[in-house]
Amino acid sequence: MFYLTEQFFSIQGEGKYAGVPSYFLRTGGCNLNCPGFGAEYVVDGEVRLGCDTYFAVDGHFSNKWQKVTSANTLISQLKDEFAKIGYVPDMVITGGEPLMYSKDDIFYTVVEAMVDHGVKITFETNGTIEIDFENYPAYKSCIFALSLKLANSGEPTEKCIIPQALINVQTHAKESFLKFTIDAALVEATAIDEINEIREILPELDVYCMPVGESRDTIWRNDKAVFEFCMKHNFHYSDRLHIRVFDTTQGV
Ligand code: SF4
């Protein structure tokens, strides 16, 4: 069993495949909280801090999440959706942290069926989960967008950077790349040192940096600094197209 918080057809807004029409599955639950990203929300009168997808992270919202208890039902729903779309789009499996479910029978059966159906799957992952590529070989056919968390996430480095898990992905996945969400303050502080430490672990992977922001307003506060940071260090700048276009609207 795994939790889905939403599914929708849209355009990938971030990273290497920004701009590509994609079908999104967003799972519920995460092994991190990332309060440093500063998205504020209120639960029972208490202000909490999280990331822009706090609604898929905080267990408080789990009563709104869908329990997926049948792989076959979801697989046939997805095929129906593709038929309505008129072609088989790329798929982005995001969260929360989707790979918390990497060994879940139902989750893996869905992934395997999509791979067999010719779907190009990208996992948007925080990279902290060690994948068992040997016993779950469909993951070898997937792309891993390693969205590793830096100091601005508010999480301790030892929780965010698990070298063995990262090397495992670099070695076995069809494709992987690094994606960092940074803000103007981090650019001035430790961003380059933190990224360089990670690149010592993963020297082969391309780096994409994008501005922190759960809204157009917060992106505008960070984009120029990140843009210039990428030019200075020969990294790829990634915008966040869905937030530019739809602002804080969910399910797009
Ligand atoms: S790892 Fe990602 S989904 Fe989880 S809390 Fe951090 S930013 Fe949000």
Query: Which of 14, 25, 34 to mutate for ligand 1's pocket (most ligand atoms within 8 Å of CB)?
Result: 34
Closest residue to atom 5 of ligand 1, CA basis: 33
CA of 87 relative to ligand 1 center, distance in Å: 31
Instruction: Give the DSSP letter of residue 168.
Output: H
160 Cβ closer than 6 Å to some ligand 1 atom: no
What's the number of CA atoms in the CB half-sphere (13 Å) around residue 252? 11
pLDDT of 18 reads: 96
Asked if the structure places residue 252 within a domain, the reply is: no
pLDDT tens across 110-124, in order?
999 999 999 999 999
Atom of ligand 1 minimally distant from the CA of 54 = 8
CATH number at residue 177: 3.20.20.70
Instruction: Quote the domain boundaries for residue 130.
Output: 2-246
- Rounded mean pLDDT, 141-152: 96
Q: What is the pTM of this model?
A: 0.95
Query: Which string of DSSP letters, residue by residue, matches 105-126?
Result: HHHHHHHHHHHHTT--EEEEE-
CA–CA separation, 154 and 222 (whole Å)? 17
Asked if the structure places residue 251 within a domain, the reply is: no
pLDDT tens across 189-235, in order?
899 999 999 999 999 999 999 998 878 888 999 999 999 999 999 99
Angle (CA) 136 85 142, round 5°: 20
**Structural domain tally of the chain?**
1
Predicted confidence band of residue 165 (pLDDT cuts 50, 70, 90): very high
pLDDT of 70 reads: 98
Atom of ligand 1 minimally distant from the CA of 96 = 3
**Exposed/middle/buried for residue 234 (C-beta within 10 Å: 0-12, 13-18, 19+):** exposed
pLDDT tens across 184-199, in order?
998 888 999 999 999 9
